[in-house]
């Protein structure tokens, strides 16, 4: 048992040090019925899995006061961009961070007070109603449109490319 350094120890006591255990268990294998041997399934409407994705909604809601949504509701903008941010986070195998959302909101012009008119029209077409829970498929479509090259970009690279290359950034 550990003791403070100032605690006296008898001179005749042996000092313990670390020793490896005699038995090393076998490594874990996916052998139970519910284990996924081939990894997480992928396909239409299955989304992009990653750790602590619920935190992404907390981060997205912190952007609400800065969003310029125009005709859309803030719920539509948050839900659509959250899907993009979660896809980007899962691409790197981590939980969502503020940069994932910054990229998503920037590429769709929600952080710009005067986005291009054609971007606004496309945004309304894709994002309208996505904030409602019954429009999951439409939200997935928004995330699936974005090219992987955009998702692998930094927020500074996306900000530099926007608004001139918004079609390339969004895949629209």
Mean pLDDT along residues 49-75: 89
Instruction: Report domain extents, the chain.
Output: 54-170
First-to-final CA distance of the chain: 63
Tell me phi and psi for residue 45, to 5 degrees.
65, 15
How many other CB atoms are there within 10 angstroms of residue 35's CB atom? 9
Mean pLDDT along residues 29-58: 76
Q: What is the pLDDT of residues 111-160, one digit of tens each?
A: 988 888 898 999 899 989 888 888 888 888 888 899 999 999 999 999 99
């Amino acid at each position: 048992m550990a003791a403070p350094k100032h605690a006296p120890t008898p001179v005749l006591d042996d000092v313990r040090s670390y020793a490896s255990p005699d038995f090393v268990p076998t490594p874990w294998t996916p052998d139970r019925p519910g284990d996924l041997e081939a990894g997480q399934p992928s396909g239409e409407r299955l989304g992009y899995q990653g750790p602590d994705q619920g935190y992404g909604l907390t981060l997205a809601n912190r952007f609400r006061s800065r969003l310029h949504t125009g005709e859309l509701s803030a719920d539509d903008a948050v839900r659509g961009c959250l899907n993009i941010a979660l896809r980007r986070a899962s691409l790197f195998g981590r939980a969502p961070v503020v940069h994932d959302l910054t990229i998503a909101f920037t590429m769709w012009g929600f952080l710009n007070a005067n986005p291009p008119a054609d971007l606004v029209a496309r945004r309304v077409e894709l994002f309208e109603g996505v904030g409602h829970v019954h429009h999951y498929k439409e939200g997935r479509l928004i995330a699936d449109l974005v090219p992987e090259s955009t998702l692998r970009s930094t927020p500074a690279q996306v900000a530099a490319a926007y608004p001139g290359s918004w079609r390339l950034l969004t895949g629209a």
